[in-house]
């Protein structure tokens, strides 16, 4: 079969859809202080604007992957785009915080259908190894930098229009992507043999929701509160039941041979841990720049621009060029060490930190590290997968990213808020210094959480070094076909 001459235009459509999905995990971050004021949200609840999206997205991605294998990737891709646009319009019109949380969860549901079909279409459109490397380099750069682009777009929309436009903006993007998909993308029909594993979806999603909800409730209630402990216990039991069921289900949601593969398991785990650190950083830096340093939304967005540039350079110029000749872990381990080093620099933040000397170097290191890591993770995790499992494997990489984002946001928000409260309580001796002490307390909370994020990044590097043993794609034996 000859390669489709329009495949690079097809990549533009796929990339646009992926960009919209990744963008939406962070575009709302910049709008969050404005939305929080407009809808009267508490500090403890504000993270649900981000978590409702990443949770629904992460929890249902595997089901989305199976739907794309069953119905056909192109059809699923278009359904996902249309639903995502409708949920975005609903969120933009929200009049209460509950309505906004609901709309964000609905966006996550459609993103879960959209993202795996996008990655599967990419895997099946680009079969030539060299072209595939370039296509994945572009895709990895977007997946990594989409978050940071979200900050800039979010800043512009919040400042010059209204925070609601951070949601409305998806409607025109989705319309363009739908028209492009109908004109440019080809697909094989779905597999009649693929069936939906609904019990697996309920157990897997239920377990993830319980764990993330536990992390978020730990902030107001404390880590030893009976409800928090019960949520963690329920989450662990549901996820254990999910694994047990997957080994017995006639058509499992996540065939266990996909994660039994050592390289793939290492990639999924590295991705999850890396995103915990990254999402935590996004949440705190947004609030730090706007609330502590007094930046406008646009200036905050632009402050993240060097991070985006560094991710793109790391992904397309370094990783994409070296991956053919280098073992993936020789990119992933240094990548995570660089990102951790960037976070360690940020632990020195104070109420009066300077952007150019203290924040900028950290963002550049972090971006380069992420760029070096993301691209080999996507390429290695999806290499050598049987066609019938391409949807579910693509979904698992995305799941690791979203679940990491959910846990990172909930866990690190809790760590930061708890540390801030205890700092303020200990230092508030002179009522005249109250405003300064509160600011210092907030920054202290952020730095404690960023230390945690740095530790998680180093753990991701360790996991990549120990588990991912794949050789360079250009050397040695070709990737084996998996059994199953």
Per-residue pLDDT tens digits for 156-184: 888 888 888 888 888 898 888 888 888 77
Token representation of residue 401 = 């990213």
Query: CA-to-CA distance for 396 and 474, rounded, in angstroms?
Result: 25
Domain closes at, from 184, 219, 250: 250
- The 10s digit of each residue's pLDDT in 444-458 is 988 898 899 999 999
Between 117 and 110, residue with greater pLDDT: 110
Residue 167: C-alpha distances to residues 56, 86, 108 (Å): 17, 10, 13
Cα dihedral: 279, 283, 286, 292 (round 10)? -140
Token representation of residue 355 = 């952007």
Residue 157 inside a domain? The answer is yes
Judged by DSSP in three states, 44 sits in: coil
Helix 390-427 crosses helix 434-467 at what angle (to 10 degrees)? 150
> Does residue 259 sit in the same domain as residue 272?
yes
DSSP track, 357-384: IIIHHHHHHHHHHHHHHHHHHHHHHHTT
Residue 484 inside a domain? The answer is no
HSE of 173, CA atoms in CB hemisphere, 13 A: 25
Residue 480 inside a domain? The answer is no
Residue 244 inside a domain? The answer is yes
> Does residue 278 sit in the same domain as residue 408?
yes
For residue 478, name the pLDDT band (cuts at 50, 70, 90). very low
- CATH of residue 186's domain is 1.20.1250.20
Say which residues have a Cβ less than 8 Å from residue 465's Cβ, sequence separation at least 6: 329, 332, 333
For residue 187, name the pLDDT band (cuts at 50, 70, 90). low
Cβ atoms 49, 28 nearer than 8 A:
yes
Residue 472 inside a domain? The answer is no
Does residue 422 have a pLDDT over 60?
A: yes
> Does residue 166 sit in the same domain as residue 228?
no
For residue 194, name the pLDDT band (cuts at 50, 70, 90). low
Segment 232-256 mean pLDDT: 87
Cβ atoms 108, 52 nearer than 8 A:
yes
> Does residue 80 sit in the same domain as residue 93?
yes
Domain closes at, from 229, 250, 271: 250
Cβ atoms 152, 305 nearer than 8 A:
yes
Cβ atoms 12, 135 nearer than 8 A:
no
> Does residue 53 sit in the same domain as residue 172?
yes
Q: Helix/strand/coil (H, E, C) string of 164-217?
A: CHHHHCHHHHHHHHHHHHHHHCCCCCCCCCCCCCHHHHHHHHHHHHHHHHHHHH
Q: Widest CA span of the chain, in angstroms?
A: 77
> Does residue 117 sit in the same domain as residue 183?
yes
Confidence (pLDDT) at 145: 64
Token representation of residue 181 = 């998909």
> Does residue 281 sit in the same domain as residue 362?
yes
Residue 225: C-alpha distances to residues 47, 180, 209, 218, 413 (Å): 20, 51, 18, 8, 17
Residue 204 inside a domain? The answer is yes
Query: CA-to-CA distance for 110 and 56, rounded, in angstroms?
Result: 9
Query: CA-to-CA distance for 63 and 202, rounded, in angstroms?
Result: 10
Residue ranges making up the domain that contains 81: 7-197+251-467
> Does residue 236 sit in the same domain as residue 105?
no
> Does residue 375 sit in the same domain as residue 319?
yes
Q: Helix/strand/coil (H, E, C) string of 118-170?
A: HHHHHHHHCCCHHHHHHHHHHHHHHHHHHHHHHHHHHHHHHHHCCCCHHHHCH
Judged by DSSP in three states, 305 sits in: helix
> Does residue 336 sit in the same domain as residue 418?
yes
> Does residue 351 sit in the same domain as residue 224?
no
- Tokens 């070094």 belong to 465
Query: CA-to-CA distance for 370 and 389, rounded, in angstroms?
Result: 27
For residue 322, name the pLDDT band (cuts at 50, 70, 90). confident
Cβ atoms 166, 154 nearer than 8 A:
yes
Of 310, 325, 285, whose CA–CA distance to 474 is shortest?
325
> Does residue 216 sit in the same domain as residue 191?
no
Residue 482 inside a domain? The answer is no
Segment 261-273 mean pLDDT: 87
Counting the structural domains of the chain, the total is 2
Segment 58-84 mean pLDDT: 82
Segment 180-194 mean pLDDT: 68
Judged by DSSP in three states, 269 sits in: helix
Question: For the chain, how many residues are written?
Answer: 484
Query: CA-to-CA distance for 336 and 365, rounded, in angstroms?
Result: 10
Domain closes at, from 250, 269, 290: 250
10 Å CB burial of residue 338 (0-12, 13-18, 19+) is: buried
Query: CA-to-CA distance for 191 and 72, rounded, in angstroms?
Result: 8
Confidence (pLDDT) at 193: 59
Say which residues have a Cβ less than 8 Å from residue 82's Cβ, sequence separation at least 6: 174, 178
Residue 2 inside a domain? The answer is no
List the single range of 206-220, 283-297, 464-478 with lowest mean pLDDT: 464-478
CB atoms within 10 A of CB 244: 11
Query: CA-to-CA distance for 394 and 272, rounded, in angstroms?
Result: 14
């Amino acid at each position: 079969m000859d390669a489709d001459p329009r495949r690079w235009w097809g990549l533009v459509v796929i990339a646009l859809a992926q960009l919209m999905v990744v963008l939406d995990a962070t575009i709302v971050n910049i709008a969050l202080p404005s939305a929080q004021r407009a809808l009267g949200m508490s500090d403890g609840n504000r993270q649900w604007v981000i978590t409702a999206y990443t949770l629904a997205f992460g929890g249902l991605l595997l089901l989305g992957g199976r739907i794309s294998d069953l119905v056909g990737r192109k059809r699923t891709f278009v359904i996902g785009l249309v639903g995502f646009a409708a949920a975005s319009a609903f969120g933009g019109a929200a009049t209460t915080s509950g309505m906004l949380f609901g709309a964000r969860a609905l966006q996550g549901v459609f993103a879960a259908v959209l993202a795996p079909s996008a990655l599967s279409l990419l895997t099946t459109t680009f079969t030539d190894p060299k072209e595939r490397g370039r296509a994945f380099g572009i895709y990895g750069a977007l997946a990594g930098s989409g978050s940071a682009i979200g900050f800039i777009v979010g800043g512009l929309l919040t400042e010059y229009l209204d925070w609601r436009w951070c949601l409305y903006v998806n409607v025109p993007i989705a319309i363009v992507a739908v028209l492009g998909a109908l004109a440019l993308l080809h697909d094989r029909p779905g597999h009649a043999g693929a069936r939906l594993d609904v019990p697996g979806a309920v157990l897997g999603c239920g377990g993830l929701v319980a764990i993330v909800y536990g992390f978020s409730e730990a902030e107001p209630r404390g880590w030893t509160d009976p409800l928090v402990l019960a949520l963690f216990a329920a989450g662990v039991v549901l996820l254990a039941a999910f694994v047990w069921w997957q080994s017995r289900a006639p058509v499992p949601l996540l065939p266990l041979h996909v994660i039994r593969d050592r390289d793939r398991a290492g990639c999924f785990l590295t991705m999850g841990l890396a995103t915990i650190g990254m999402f935590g950083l996004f949440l705190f830096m947004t609030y730090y720049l706007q609330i502590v340093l007094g930046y406008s939304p646009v200036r905050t967005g632009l402050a993240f621009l060097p991070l985006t540039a560094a991710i793109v350079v790391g992904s397309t110029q370094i990783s994409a060029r070296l991956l053919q000749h280098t073992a993936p872990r020789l990119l992933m381990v240094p990548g995570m060490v660089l990102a951790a080093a960037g976070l360690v620099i940020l632990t020195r933040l104070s109420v009066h930190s300077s952007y150019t000397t203290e924040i900028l170097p950290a963002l550049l290191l972090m971006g380069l590290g992420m760029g070096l890591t993301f691209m080999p993770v996507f390429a290695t995790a999806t290499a050598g997968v049987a066609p019938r499992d391409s949807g579910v494997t693509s979904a698992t990489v995305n799941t690791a990213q979203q679940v990491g984002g959910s846990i990172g946001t909930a866990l690190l928000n809790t760590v930061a808020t708890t540390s801030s409260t205890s700092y303020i309580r200990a230092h508030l001796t002179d009522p005249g210094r109250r405003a300064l002490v509160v600011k210092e307390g907030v920054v202290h909370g952020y730095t404690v959480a960023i230390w945690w994020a740095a530790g998680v990044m180093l753990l991701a590097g360790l996991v990549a070094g120990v588990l991912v043993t794949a050789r360079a794609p250009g050397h040695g034996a070709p990737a084996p076909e998996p059994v199953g």
